[in-house]
Structures are given as C-alpha cells and as structure tokens.
Structure 1
Amino acid sequence: MQIYLVGGAVRDELLNRKVTERDFVVVGATPEQMLDKGFTQVGKDFPVFLHPKTKEEYALARTERKSGKGYTGFVCNASADVTLEEDLLRRDLTINAMARDADGNLIDPFNGLTDLDSRIIRHVSTAFIEDPLRVFRVARFAARYAHLGFTIAEETLQLMQTVAVHNELDHLSAERVWHETQRSLQEQDPQVYFTTLSQTNGLYPWLQELTALNNTAYAGLALSAKRGYSAHERFAVLTSQLSAAKAASLCKRLKAPNVFSELALLAAEYAFALAGSLTAEQLLNLFNHADSWRKPSRFEALLNVASCVEPQQHNHRETTILQALNAAANIDTQPIVKAGYKGGAIKTELNKQRLQVISQILADKGGTGG
C-alpha cells in the first residue's frame, strides 16, 4: 500500500498559496484493507475513505471509462493493480495531476509543474471531453488564477467548445452548475469565469440569459469583487443587466438559493433606478416595493449592486438614500393610531409622513444625484 498527496494541495503548495484541504490517493490497497486500518468508507460510486483521526479523504487509485451521458456516466475501476499514473491520467488538468509521495518527492507524469511555471491551464488528455462539468471547472480555475497570469491553452479551449457544441452540458444537474458558479463568484476575478464560458459557448443552456452581456457588465462584476462584495451581490450585478423575467428564469434554472435569487430579482428591477436621480416619491415607492422596511440589510446590498452599475456616479448617493430609509423606517405608527386613523388610513398617513422625512433629507443633501 502506497499513499500519495494529490491534486489541489500539491498545486497550491507549489504556487505558495494556502492549502485549505488535502486529498490522498492510495495505490495497491483494497476496500477491506482500508476498513481494517480504521478508515470509514463514504464513497458510493468509487471507494473513498475518511482517515480515522484527521478525517481527510483517502481515495483508492482508479480509472474511469465513459459509459453514458453527463458527468455520472462512468464505469469506475478501483482495483489494487491501478497505478498512480493511471489515476492521475483521468484528472482534468495537468496542474491538478501531480502528486507527492511520503518522502515529499514530486511525481509529475504530465508536466504539470512546467505548465504551472508557464501559467498555463491545460487538459491532461482528450478524455477531458468525457466529463462536461470540466468546462465549468476550467472556467473557475481561470477565474481563480487570472491575477497570477494564468491563461487557458488554446487546445483546451477547443475541447471545451467541443463539449458545448455536442450539447453535453445539457446533461449536467442544476446543483453542480450552480456549485461551480457560486464558487467562481467568490474568486478574485469572477468575471473571467463568465467570459471564458462565453468564449467557449459554455453559457448555453444553463446561463443562456448572460449571452447578451457586454464588457461593461463584466467590468461591473470585476468592480464588485475588487470592493469585496458578497457572492450574492456579485451575482446581482450581472442580473441587473437583465429584464426581471430573464433574471427570474436564470435563477429558477440554476435553483439559486433565496439569498441570491431575491437580490438578483431586485437588482433587475431597481439597480439602474438607484444608480440614477430619484425624487422623494420615487424613492418611497422603491422602498415599499423592495420591502426595505423589513429587510434593510438586503436593501443595502442592492445599493452596493447599484454602485457597480454606474460606478462613475458612485458618490454620496448611497449614504443619502440610507439616511432617508433609516429616518423613514423610524417613524412610529403609535401616534398615528392614537390620532384616530384606522385600517388602510394608517398606511396612507404613514406613507405621507415617510414622504415628508425623505423629502427633507433629499433637500438637505441636495438630492440623490444623477
């Protein structure tokens, strides 16, 4: 039995990046031997085990043979005679197909270190096209390492296009596509993920609404990342460029979590309005429609999105709008009730008082700009 550190831990160590998790490949072992050593089996499709103490993943070396559509259509062989090189051959990229033995020696049969030094993202073999999820994974790696000067090899881009043209992406699940997309949104250069997919025809079908976006939209996304905005704010910067119907369609297809979809829909409806000049009446209506009284933090996120839509207009506007929201939200309804207002008249009077407060703040601050 031989154990090797593989994949991302080796890659990131060589890049002097923080290693967040370590994965191991075990060569020359059977599931029974792993269980006898106290490991816990967790894999269903192929044998993956958790170390009894560290809980790190140890996978038996395996080969894969394409047997159907999508990323699940594989026959796995994890017998004890599978070699390390055979296991590394099935991996997606050369920079992910390196290993270290117990003595720290680097095993690099596919020249991953050379590509790492050359800042090239390159597929290991033409078997790359057998797993359509790799199109999204490569785009994610491009987004992660763009700031280090990494680019995708031309021949790898061509294989990504081949996968898309043959409609293999259709066979993926929404959950897997969203997982890659959400992780990419959190990278330093998330716009690279989407531009890479656009370049390789990979936006269709899952992200098809984004095919119409231009460089200005992606510049806004890059700005949101530079400012350290959350992943759901970054996603909403993209959907702010869409109609409400298209934003809703996109979120539904991807099964985006509520925190993403709610802000995405608000951005599609209101981001450009917030980026422009608003009267007190318009601002009050927007507060009401966006449910800002109950969810002020979500409205603040919407303001962040708007500030990336028209960054040249980014000035005191956000502060003024938040002051107006806070002041209007603090109006107490009890005096209104005590004054004899009932039913719908309470809401009417509350809106009247909120409008007065908002108007005063805009007058004092010189409006919301434009």
Structure 2
Amino acid sequence: MDCYLVGGAVRDALLGLTTRDRDWVVVGSNPEDMLASGFQPVGQDFPVFLHPQTHEEYALARRERKVSPGYRGFTIDASSHVTLEEDLARRDLTINAMARARDGRLIDPWHGARDIEQRRLRHVSASFAEDPVRILRVARFAARYTRLGFTVAEETMALMRTMVTSGEIDALVAERVWQEIKDALSEDCPRRFFETLSECQALHRLLPELDHLATDPDADRAPNGVPRTRALKALDKSAALSGDPRIRFAALVHELGDTDPTLLNPLTNHPT
C-alpha cells in the first residue's frame, strides 16, 4: 500500500500555517489489509481508519458517483484499484486537491499550488456542482483566508450561482447548514462567509431572514445604513472581542429582533 498526506495539511504547509489535522489517503489497499496492519475502523459512510500509534486518519482512496439529488446522493467505490488522482479529483477546491508523498514529492494535478500563489479559491471540476454543501465550504474558506487575500474564482462563483438557481441547494437539511454556519462563525472573518453566500444568491435560500434585511423597503431609512450592513458590522465587532461562535451569531442576528416601531407605545417606548 502507498500512503499520501492530503488535504488541509498540504495546503496549510504551503501557506506557512500551522497544520490543524493530518489526513492520509491509502492507495492499493483494502479494509482487510488495514485491519491486519492494526488500523482501527472509524468510518461509517466510507472506509476510514485510525493509525495504531499516531491515531491519525487514514482513508482508502475512493471515487464517487452521483446517483440522486442532495449531498448524500452518492455511491462510493473504495476498491484497491482507485488511483490517487481519482481520489483527488472528487475534492472541492484545487487547494484541497493536493497530496504529499512520503519522499516529499508534491502531487498536484489541478494546480492547487498555483492557486495558492494567486490567492484563488477555484473548484476542481464540474463535479463540484453535484454536492450543494460545497457552496457553504467555499464560503467558509473565504472567511478563513480572506485576510491572506484569497478570493473566489469567477468561474467558481458562476457555478455556485447555477447550483442555487437549479434548486440543488434546496436539498440541504437545516442541521447540515447550521453546522457549516457554526464552523464559519469560528473563522477569522466570519462576515465573509455571509457575503459570499449573498454574492452567489444562496443567502436568500438558506437564511432568508438575514437576506431580507437588505431588501426591506424600509432599509434605506435606517439611521446607520442598510440593516444587514449593520448586522455585519456588529458581527465584525463581536469577532474582534470574542471567538465564541454563539456570541458572534447573536451579534449577527440582533437586527432580526428589532420591534416594529408601529407596535411601540409612544409614551413609554415599550411594546403595547
């Protein structure tokens, strides 16, 4: 079997950042061989194992095929014949589709290193559109790396808009969306997550209440600008003061709780 370091560890090393996790892909193996080598199975949807000493995750190389709508509508082939390139091809962004061999060689068939140099978030292939979760992941990476100058590639943003208008994004369940929002709220610039969703028109589908703040006909009369702008500024301030995603979320949605002035008692300024 051949093992390759993949994903975030390779990406962050090229960015000069501390690696959060180290994940490995195993080529030319099968579950029986992994178990015989002392690895412990942990994956439910596909074969993932923990190394007996380091406890790092080792996943069998796999390819995926879309068979039904939504982010779970895939069949998986994790046979020993799947190549490293096939495994990398199923990934979302080029910066996440690189691998490092044991001898230090960089395997980069989709030019992720070049996109890192150009500070660009670009999808690997048209299969990106098969998984609506990837819209949220791109927005989250934008929130993480905007301080480094990263932007979403025009062609990727266009594909994300197509995924929204086609209705593919509507297959996402609320629990999955909320998990991505929580993760994004912990990033360096969480406002960029919501701005990216707005730019690809996904905010209207996923968080219509927040999107409505910018389309409310009374928004222009707000004393401090468009309410959504105020909400994002509040998010910025909370992010500077606290890393707690709960506090950041509370700051973001505080505009949603504004009481309609027509419901206020003119004498006490309290709800009637």
Give yes or no for TM over 0.5: yes
Pairing 1:3-82 to 2, within 5 Å after superposition: 3-82=3-82
1:226 counterpart = 2:231: no
Report the Cα distance in structure 2 between the residues aligned to 1:173 and 1:54, rounded to whole angstroms.
34
One-letter amino acid of the counterpart of residue 168, structure 2: E
Counterparts in 2 of 1:229 and 1:90: CA distance versus 1, 3 Å: closer
Q: Partner of 1:276 in structure 2?
A: none
Contact 1:188–1:226 under 8 Å retained in 2:
no
Structure 2: how far apart are the matches of 1:229 and 1:65? 38
1:215-254 alignment to 2 at 5 Å? 215-243=229-257
**Alpha-carbon displacement from aligned partner over 1:309-351 (angstroms, at most 9, x marks no partner):** xxxxxxxxxxxxxxxxxxxxxxxxxxxxxxxxxxxxxxxxxxx
Q: Which has the higher contact order (CA 8 A, sep 6+)?
A: 2
Which amino acid in 2 is paired with 1:21?
A: D
TM-score (norm 2): 0.87
Query: Are residue 97 (structure 1) and residue 97 (structure 2) matched?
Result: yes
Shift of 1:229: 4.9
Partner residue in 2 for 1:204: 204
Letter in 2 for 1:50: L
Q: How does 1:177-196 map to 2 (within 5 A)?
A: 177-196=177-196
Whole-angstrom CA distance in 2 between matches of 1:231 and 1:6 = 28
- 1:108 alignment counterpart: 108
- Deviation, 1:39, is 0.8
- Measure how far apart 1:240 and its partner are: 0.9
SS across alignment from 2:26: strand
1:17 aligned partner, one-letter code: L
**Take 2:229 and 2:123, find their aligned partners in 1: how far apart are those partners?**
27
Residue 230 of structure 1 and its aligned partner are, at CA, apart by 2.1
Equivalence for 2:143: 143
Give, in whole Å, the separation in 1 of the partners of 2:43 and 2:97: 21
- What amino acid sits opposite 1:240 in the alignment? H
Query: Which structure is higher in helix share?
Result: 1
SS in 2 for 1:69: coil
- Secondary structure of the corresponding residue to residue 238 of structure 2: helix
Shift of 1:173: 2.1
Q: For 1:25, what is the secondary structure of its paired residue?
A: strand
Write out per-residue CA displacement over residues 218-275 of structure 1, whole angstroms, 9 at most, x where no aligned residue: 12211221223521111111211113xxxxxxxxxxxxxxxxxxxxxxxx57xxxxxx
The separation in 2 between residues aligned to 1:232 and 1:42, in whole angstroms, is 30
Matches within 5 A, 1:249-328: none
**Whole-Å separation in 1 of the counterparts to 2:244 and 2:23:** 28
**Residues 44-78 of structure 1, C-alpha deviation per residue, up to 9 Å, x if partnerless?**
22111111122111110010000011111001111
Measure, in 2, the Cα distance between the counterparts of 1:96 and 1:170: 25
Higher Cα Rg, which structure: 1
* Cα distance in 2 for residues equivalent to 1:100 and 1:175: 34
The amino acid of 1:225's aligned partner reads A
State the one-letter code of the partner of 2:79: S
Aligned-residue offset at 1:137: 0.3
Instruction: Work out whether residues 242 and 248 of structure 2, in 8 Å CA contact, stay in contact via their aligned partners in 1.
Output: no
In percent, how many aligned pairs have the same letter? Answer: 55
Who is 1:122 aligned against? 122
2:166 corresponds to which residue?
166
1: distance between equivalents of 2:49 and 2:241?
Answer: 40
Give me the whole-angstrom Cα distance separating, in 1, the residues matched to 2:240 and 2:16.
22
Work out the CA distance in 2 between the residues paired with 1:217 and 1:154.
Answer: 26
In structure 2, the partner of 1:311 is none
Deviations 1:8-45 (A, max 9, x none): 01101111111121100000001111011011112222
Unpaired segments ≥5 residues, structure 2: 214-227, 260-267
Q: Secondary structure at the match of 2:65?
A: strand
The runs of at least 4 consecutive aligned structure 1 residues that moved more than 6 Å come to: none
Distance of 1:229 and 1:44 partners within structure 2: 31
What is the one-letter code of the residue matched to 1:95? Answer: I
RMSD over equivalenced CA pairs, Å: 1.7
Contact 1:3 1:27 in 2 (8 A): yes
